[in-house]
Structure 1
Amino acid sequence: MQTTAVMRAASRAAMTLCLGASLLGAMPAHALFDDDEARRAILDLRQRHDALQASHQKLSEEVRRANEENAQMRRSLLDLQSQIDGLRADSAKSRGQGEQLARDVADVQKRQKEIAQGVDDRLRKFEPGKVTVDGREFLADPAETRDYDAALAIFRKGDFAAAQTAFSGFIKRYPQSGYNASSLFWLGNAQYATRDYKEAINNFRSMLTVNADHPRAPEAALSIANCQLELKEVRGARKTLEDLIKVYPQSEAALAAKDRLSKMR
């Protein structure tokens, strides 16, 4: 608006100059020097012309400065817009990075949960659990249960030599296992089946020494007597059967022991 006003003023000044020049041109030459009044009029017109020309130059300078200021203002506005666009781009980038970070954190938390669940599952595989074997309840690791069941399966298939190896290895690997009494019992039976009577007697006695109250203890005592009879140790077999009847009088093995004794007389 300032530039428009300046330009309008300049236009009016130019029109005044043109009018003055026209008047000077229209006057006859002889009239210019008729008297002093005419000379004063000419001088006055010249002064006005000079003043108007100076005013025109001043106005032109103001128009130029106004144009420069407008140009500078436009450049400033463009720079400001560029800065605003840059800030918007940075803000959008920051939001994108924030969203990606949130997704990354969620993925990490999910992975941690999966890992923790996997660890818990693996730990449960190794945690001792309650088992009941031959009427006795105790805690056993999953590996113990697996190896004992595998050895017993071999025995039940009738592969008594392999069963001896399996049960002997089990006892060495798990010397404090709750399965040991039963393992000694089945090891002795596997050795009896392969006619290794002396080793069978040793393992049956080991079982009775540590687990005299085991549900299979009467059977172990009866098996010792059977091994002794196979070895022709009749006196020892008789003593074993008599002790069996005294220690386990209510057992089925005690009934079998009485029957054996009656036949030995």
Structure 2
Amino acid sequence: MKINLAAISMAAVLSTSSWAQAPVTSVGGSGSVNDRLAELERAFNARSQAQIDQQRQLNGLQQEVSELRGLLEEQSYRLEQVIERQRAILAAQQDAAQQPAPAPAAPQPSGAQNGGQAQGGASAPAAAPAGNDEQAAYDNAVNLVLQDKDYDAAIPAFARFITQYPQSTYVPNAHYWLGQLLFTQKRFDQAKAQFARVVEAYPGSNKRADSILKLGLIAKEQGDAGLARQYYEQVLREYGNSGAARLAQENLNSL
């Protein structure tokens, strides 16, 4: 999935242009002081409303970019998992091919052969591949976010996945998505716990940089600009060339 950043940038430019054209009535004409003050107040209110509308549009664009980037990262992560599984299968096949052929088994009486099959020998059905339920559970939770947009259902789905599959390679991603959903609902303390879990317990996760960034955004929302600055600077220090670092710099500039 290709993120159309050009279209998003154009939307931001257009919204800025509309803000710049907000009506400003001249207040230097004739009339009483009260009339001129009223004109000035109307001009100020018009410009303030334009600024509010612009900020709302920018916030919406940032949220859309965040979701699209999350989808792209999720697809890349799944592709990496598929490639790793294929490599493991290929390596196992190569090892098996290099093993010497086993010696033929000694003939067994017919009763023994039948008994062996009755006890679940070669005739027993093969076990289902491991991990199918885990993959299905994770895919279901992700699809609730990316396809169905059912965020209320996605929160318990990710929480159940973490509980049921604590050793899964998808657990750090599940913590991140859970934090993202809680952040969207402004449940900042709960979201902070999920992002902090990614940062502290999974140093190699591809969601760690974004999790640090989100901790900074939460600190800003909770009125702690100093802590927010620390998190933004940590992103820049540890992930200087990432998309999260660019967002961290923008938020740092706005403090």
TM score, norm. by length of structure 2: 0.51
SS at match of 2:206: coil
State the partner residue of 2:225.
Answer: 234
Q: Secondary structure of 2:129's partner?
A: helix
Alignment of 1:52-71 (within 5 A): none
Q: 1:197 aligns with which of 188, 199, 207?
A: 188
Q: Which residue pairs with 1:206 in the alignment?
A: 197
- Give yes or no for the alignment of 1:125 onto 2:116: no
Q: For the structure 1 residues 125 and 193, does the alpha-carbon distance in structure 2 shift closer, same or farther, using more than 3 Å as the test?
A: same
Q: Does 1:147 align with 2:137?
A: yes
**How far off its partner does 1:167 sit?**
0.8
Query: What are the within-5 Å matches in structure 2 for residues 19-38 of structure 1?
Result: none
* 2:66 equivalent in structure 1: none
AA aligned to 2:224 is: E
Q: Which structure has the bigger radius of gyration?
A: 1
Structure 1, unmatched stretches of 5+, are: 1-103, 127-140
Corresponding residue pairs, total: 145
Alignment match of 2:158 (pick from 147, 162, 167): 167
Of all paired residues, the percent bearing the same amino acid is: 23
For 2:227 and 2:216, locate their aligned partners in 1 and report how far apart those are by CA, in whole Å. Answer: 8
Show CA shifts across 1:155-192 (max 9, x none).
22222121110111111111122111111011101111
**Larger helix proportion, structure 1 or 2?**
1
1:180 aligns with 2:171: yes
CA distance in 2, matches of 1:225, 1:250: 18
Decide whether the 8 Å contact of 1:160 with 1:191 is kept in 2. Answer: no
Which residue number corresponds to residue 18 of structure 1? none
Give the CA RMSD over aligned residues.
2.7
What does the per-residue CA deviation read over 1:117-165, in whole Å, with 9 as the maximum and x for residues that have no partner?
A: 552x33x333xxxxxxxxxxxxxx2211111111111122222121110
Alignment of 1:58-97 (within 5 A): none
Give the whole-Å Cα distance in 2 for the aligned partners of 1:117 and 1:163.
42
* Amino acid aligned to 2:237: K
Deviations 1:193-220 (A, max 9, x none): 2111111111101011111221121111
TM-score (normalised: structure 1) = 0.49
Q: Secondary structure at the match of 1:178?
A: coil
- Given candidates 247, 254, 261, the residue that maps to 2:245 is 254
